[in-house]
Structures are given as C-alpha cells and as structure tokens.
Amino acid sequence: MRFLSTRGQDIAKNASFAIAEGLASDGGLFVPEKFPDFSEKLKTMLDMDYAERAALVISSYLDEYDKDELLSACKKAYAKFEDEEPAPVVKIDDNLFILELFHGPTLAFKDVALTILPYLLRKGADQSGIREEILVLVATSGDTGKAALEGFKDADGIKICVFYPTGGVSDMQKRQMCTQEGGNVNVVGVKGNFDDCQTAVKKIFSDKRINAELKEKGIVLSSANSINFGRLVPQIAYYFSAYLDLVGSEEIKLGDKIDFVVPTGNFGNILAGYYAKKMGLPIGKLICASNQNNVLTEFFESGTYNKNREFFKTVSPSMDILVSSNLERLIFELTGRNAELTREKMESLSKKGEYDISKTELSAIQKEFSAGFTEEEECLEEIKEFFDDFGYVLDTHTAVAMNVYENLGDKNKPTVVLSTANFYKFPQSVLKAITGKNVQDAFKASEMLLKETAADIPSGISELKNKTVRFTETVEKDKVYDAVKRFIETER
C-alpha cells in the first residue's frame, strides 16, 4: 500500500519509507491511500489472541512487511505486558466497560504501539535502503517519552532524544524519563508547554538545512510520536480487540454497534478508532473527552479550531495540548482527501492560530464524533465517586473520559471507555481526590494510596525511588536543536 501526504506536495511513499521518515517532507502527515475492509474478517478474528489480531490489522496497511515476521514481532512485543494481555476489557456496570491499556512496561497506553514500533522502524529503514544512523526525536506530554525511551533503549543503529515540558508532566512521569537506562537515549526539559516541544521538533524535521547537516554526519531523522503512521497503526488493533472480546463474552452480538469514549490530547488515540470504523468495525459514536484545555470540544461544536486561548496546566497533563497534530489526518478525510485545502487550513493554524471548516464538513464530523470536557474539580470528584461506587481507581485522564461519558454517553448502548494510564503515575492527584489530602512527595502519596485502595504499586513505579537521575538538562524552546547537536556530539 502507498502512503500520501495530507498536504499533497510530497510524492506517494510505500509503508517502509513512510514509517522510516515519520513526517512527510512537505510538513504533512502520511495517510494510507485506502482503508482495508475488515467487515468480513471479524468473525475469523474472534478466536485469535491479541498479537494475532494486531499483526492482521498492521499487515493490512504494511503489506510489504513479511507477515510471519510481523506476527513474531507482535508476539515478542506483547509478551512484555502483564499476563501478555495488552488490552483487557473490564465490565463495570450494565453497558459500561473499561479498556485497560496500561499493562505495558511503562504503565501507559503508548506501550501498545511503542513496543512494536522499534521493529517497524528498523525494518522499514532496512527495506528502504537507509543505512545511516536513525535519530528519533520525540516531543512528549508525559507518557510517550518514557514509552519511546523504553522501546528504543539500546536499539541497534538508533538513537533517541525526548523533549518534555518542564512543569508540564507529573513527578512520576518525569522520574520515569530522567532515570531511563540505555546508552543511546537522551532526555531534555523544555521551558514551555507540550505545544512548544512539538513545534520545535516539527521545525527540525521540516528544516532542509538541518536535515542536510545531519545527513553529512550520517544521521537521518524519524519520529516516535503519533505523527508517524507506525505509531498510529498498532493502536487501531485494540479497538478491534475490545469489540471482539465483548462479542466473545456475549455482551454484544457480532454486528452490534458500540460507542467508545477516549481521553484526547494529540488526537492520535481517537483517530485510531476512526480508522477502525472506516475499516468496517461497528462503531457508533466516538466521544472525544478533553480536560480544561478544551480546544477540541469547541472545534467539534462550532467548526472553528482556535489555539489562541489560555493554556492550563492540569492534573491530566498528557492532555494539556492546544495543537492536536493528528486532527490534520481527520481534516484530510473530511475535505474529501483534498490536500490543497488541508494544507491551507494547517498554514492558517500556523500563521493565525486558527482555521474553520464548512457547515457541511461540521455536519459530517458530528455524525461520527461527540465531544465534551471536564473541569479540574469535576475530574477529582469523578475519581472519588467512581472509587466509592465501584471500588475501581481511575487515573486523572480516564476520569476525564468517564465524566464526559456520564454527561454525554448513551447509557442504553454498550460503551467502552479507554483507560490510558495506571493511576500510580499521578499519585498526588489521585490521593487528593480520594482522601482530600495534599501530599507533595510522589512516593509517599503512592504508599498512602496503597493503604486506601489495596491496589499493588507496580514495580515500574516503586523501583523508581532508588534509580539514579541521569538527565537534568533544560533548554529554552528556541534552543531545542542545540540540545540535539550536543547529544549527537557527545554520543559520537
């Protein structure tokens, strides 16, 4: 299958090139030339395990990858998850289910893609004839950074440099990143927010002078953010798996439609659900849940995307985003795959900080999506009430989604809420929600949560306390490339 740029000025690429390059040369995002039809394959997927389902979904897009080798890579990747189960579905109440995506090595949903991406990237580069060393640049709002670092740790021929917003991630997220092991990794704080990190990294990708300079040093760039289709495609699989698990447990019948509620920041997670629907998965509504940074809610209601607003640092930091990059892929589909129109909107966003879609496009989007947002106090109240009612502890991002479900969801329709992180990654906020106590130290808060909830502290959290902090560098947002150069020079 070929991949096209959403902005239309880069030539079509095969899957290997699209994944190895990460971002199109015109600044656009790679999208598949068509969506595979899985409507007749659902029944045959019922008896498959998760790795088999994932390999089938991924191979339908990456058809030049050897299917047996891809299946082997999926089995190896998902063996790293607790009980080798990357995406279990938990029944909470009648018609309400939680898809737990936090059982991987770094306790966040990003692991589902970032345990398999190193294989996809390395294989893609080899098949594309790329012999240079690959430098993976990552902007993170918290979870992607650690998952990417762990996935690419000591990977052959690959180095990785992660940029996170100082003060814009939780204490545990920062500790996870800054204690990362591996000889090929680097972590840098950026004085700004996630959008500043993401903008800086995108500028490096699109700067021809920088790319030429790196090429002379035997280095090519790639991305582990969801702007890379190789990050996005494994996420499509867990929508299929959740649906099939509900059929298998006789909660629904094959062909019944279900809704999904997705805590949303950069729009990659929910876009994967939209792609699954385009492939024939019986999805009703995709409900986009935002925190106080509610730029997406406004967009889905009004048709205007406007990033010119106050930025809030919230208790759900991985969603503290005002420029949702993957929305560009949805705009491309909404405009009838009109690359010129998509490019115009993205240029308007870059220059003016906003763009509009037509009434026809807005009507089309509202048939597929609903959107809502949750204030800070509502998020904390949701954690408390849900724990009291069901004995289940939500993290701060899943609480946003659950609150939006309670306000917008159809209680008569089976609905799956995506849970994106283990709550011990945000112990101070969750402890405050459940007990009202303000505790500054993350590890002390975790111990207190253990007593309150009787939920074991994952080893990936408890072991952080005694790990050495390796990375302490912080830079201004206009000095990100300088940090990249220092990393390259130090490592070479």
Beta partners for 338? none
b/e map 430-439, b = 16+ CB within 10 Å: bbbbbeeeeb
Catalytic entry in 13, 110, 307, 425? 110
- Determine contact, residues 146/173, Cβ cutoff 8 Å: yes
* Integer angstrom CA distances of residue 218 from 118, 187, 212, 486: 19, 22, 10, 16
Cα–Cα distance for residue pair 449/214, rounded to 1 Å: 47
What are the backbone angles phi and psi of residue 361, rounded to the nearest 5°? Answer: -65, -40
Distance CA 49, CA 204 (A): 40
Q: Which residues contact 221 (CB under 8 A, 6 or more apart)?
A: 22, 134, 135, 136, 137, 204, 205, 211, 214
Backbone angles phi and psi of 308, in degrees to 5? -80, 80
For residue 237, give the 3-state DSSP assignment.
helix
Report the C-alpha gap between 395 and 106 in whole angstroms. 15
345 in active site: no
Report d(CA 443, CA 446) in Å as an integer. 5
96 CB-side CA count, 13 A = 14
| Dist CA 74 CA 72 (whole Å) | 5
| Active-site residue set | 110
